[in-house]
Amino acid sequence: MYIQQLYTNCLSEAAYFIEDGGEAAIVDPLRDIEVYLQMAAERNVRIKYIFETHFHADFVSGHLDLSKATGAPIVYGPGAVTGFAVYQAKDGERFRIGSLELEVLHTPGHTLESSCYLLRDADGKPHCVFTGDTLFVGDVGRPDLAQKGAELTTQDLAGMLYDSIQRKLFPLADEVLVYPAHGPGSACGKNLGPHTQSTIGEEKKTNYAMKASSREEFIQQVTEGIPAPPAYFPVNARINREGYAELDQVIEKGMKAITPAAFKKRADEGILVLDTRHADTFMKGFVPGAVSIGLEGRFAEWAGSLLPFDKPFLLVTEAGKEKETIVRLARVGFDKMEGYLEGGLEGWQAAGFPIDMIIDVEADELMMDIPHDPHLVVVDVRRETEYADGHLKDAMNLPLQEMTDPGMLAAFEDHQNLYIHCAGGYRSVIAASLLKRQGIHNLRNVNGGWAKIKEQEKAEVVKESRVLN
């Protein structure tokens, strides 16, 4: 028996490779499937099944491309209705992988079709359970993602989730390993723990949701304080349910080098330009109007939250990062990348075209400017809960995820001097680029963000108890 967790940090996503007796199964594959094919080739095994725990909302699965490449059927649990051929398993149905068996445990609650997969060893003893988004380390899946038309409330789904955990997972032996679909940082739960695997016994002791004394208490705990889901979640869930273009086609279209002159013509016509270079590099010079989302952060999540899925766009990347950028965008459902800037920003400048820049200031400079500039406005783009836990007095909170709203421009006046910050600097550069794209140029980025600001002696820190309580 061989089990490998394949973890993708920028999405906090875990896929699994299970192998025994020359046969393999993949659980919750990402859209880029080469790693699974390579593992199967290296271990000289045949991929027999592709198991999906549910319709993922935070990434596009590789089920279609992997099935086409291997001939393996795509297996969903009860109630999964798709726009392509799948095997819809019954609750309790078992699938053999070599001498192992994988048992379907239908666990509705996060979504209606959500299912866990219990792996039994050659002696039939439960060894581990692949819990998808039903059970995480320290948390459970959010119950507010009911498909449109399901006519179920968040409380309805939370109740179903409680029943699923109590009936299907709680009875498992304490030593059974728990392999969830996500780890820390994922928006699929409220506050996932720091680890990417656990045991049933450990979760019974430490997971607030598994320790709930009643169904009512569970529903209250699980539904309180759920942040709004990222805007792209419904898009990805629909793509996973209905199907998508082959990744190779998306890569081929996106890997077209576009000359600076042709690139400028398209940019002048209004096509969106996405710059994926490091935030520090972007600030020193970029194509006017470009949006910065650096590959170094939670790139795919922010792209999915801020960029349109229905419109084409062009790329500016570091040399050699073109394909990586396209693949990581495709992971969250983007398929309209039309090419990248040939020669990068250096090629753009060599062609004689102008660049824009973002001014960077240190936290101590901000503190010196505040008392002397009546038009200075601090714009804090952290999430509401981060802001509430401590922010500069009189700072405006404009969470980055809300900056796609055109109405945000009404919050600013021409005479204002904007000082933008987030926690450390990644999100504030994205925010600054969005504002510049909308014609607001009188702004500065605070280097180091809140981490540096709160260290300043003159920083007057305020908390918002109405949000924290």
Task: Determine the pLDDT at residue 147.
Answer: 57
Tokens 């990347």 -> residue: 317
Same domain, 376 and 340: no
Query: Residue 146: pLDDT above 80?
Result: no
Q: What's the rounded mean pLDDT across residues 196-218?
A: 95
CATH number of the domain enclosing 225:
3.60.15.10
Considering only CA atoms, which of 450, 408, 447 is closest in space to residue 283?
447
420 inside domain: yes
Q: What's the rounded mean pLDDT across residues 31-37?
A: 97
Task: Determine the pLDDT at residue 465.
Answer: 75
Q: Is the dihedral of CA 400, 405, 406, 410 positive or negative?
A: negative
Q: What's the rounded mean pLDDT across residues 109-130?
A: 97
Same domain, 253 and 152: no
Task: Determine the pLDDT at residue 467.
Answer: 57
131: tokens are 């819990």
99 inside domain: yes
61 inside domain: yes
Task: Determine the pLDDT at residue 234.
Answer: 94
Relative orientation angle of helices 322-330 and 247-254, to the nearest 10 degrees: 140
Task: Enumerate residues 6+ apart whose C-beta is below 8 A from 250.
Answer: 326, 330, 334, 335, 337
What mean pLDDT, rounded, does the chain reach?
Answer: 95
88 inside domain: yes
Same domain, 283 and 367: no
Task: Determine the pLDDT at residue 228.
Answer: 86
Q: Which of 192, 207, 235 is the last residue of a domain?
A: 235
Query: Residue 178: pLDDT above 80?
Result: yes
Gap between the Cα atoms of 31 and 438, Å rounded? 33
**443 has which bridge partners?**
418
Same domain, 174 and 309: no
Give tens-digit pLDDT for 292-327. Answer: 999 998 999 999 999 999 999 999 999 999 999 999
23 inside domain: yes
Same domain, 146 and 295: no
38 inside domain: yes
Task: Determine the pLDDT at residue 148.
Answer: 53
Query: Residue 275: pLDDT above 90?
Result: yes
268 inside domain: yes
Same domain, 258 and 143: no
User: Percent of the chain having pLDDT more than 70?
Assistant: 98
Same domain, 264 and 346: yes
Band the pLDDT of 421: cuts 50, 70, 90. Answer: very high
Band the pLDDT of 269: cuts 50, 70, 90. Answer: very high
CATH number of the domain enclosing 408:
3.40.250.10
Q: What's the rounded mean pLDDT across residues 235-252?
A: 96
Same domain, 168 and 60: yes
Task: Determine the pLDDT at residue 150.
Answer: 60
240 inside domain: no
Number of structural domains in the chain: 3
Whether the CB-CB separation of 20 and 2 falls below 8 Å is answered with yes
Task: Determine the pLDDT at residue 152.
Answer: 87
Whether the CB-CB separation of 46 and 40 falls below 8 Å is answered with yes
Q: What letter represents residue 254's amino acid?
A: G
Gap between the Cα atoms of 274 and 283, Å rounded? 14
Same domain, 32 and 134: yes
Tokens 């086609």 -> residue: 249
Same domain, 44 and 107: yes
Same domain, 260 and 384: no
The domain containing residue 332 runs over which residues? 245-350
Task: Enumerate residues 6+ apart whose C-beta is below 8 A from 113.
Answer: 54, 55, 76, 77, 78, 79, 80
| Residue 145 vs residue 455, higher pLDDT | 455
Task: Determine the pLDDT at residue 232.
Answer: 94
Q: How is 205-240 classified by DSSP, letter by letter?
A: HH-TTTT-SSHHHHHHHHHTTPPPPPTTHHHHHHHH
16: tokens are 């699994």
Q: Which of 311, 330, 350 is the last residue of a domain?
A: 350
Query: Residue 288: pLDDT above 60?
Result: yes
Number of Cα atoms under 13 Å in the Cβ half of residue 134: 35
Query: Residue 469: pLDDT above 70?
Result: no
Q: Which of 350, 374, 392 is the last residue of a domain?
A: 350
Q: How is 43-86 classified by DSSP, letter by letter?
A: TT-EEEEEE-SS--SSS-B-HHHHHHHH-PPEEE-TT---SS--
Same domain, 89 and 164: yes
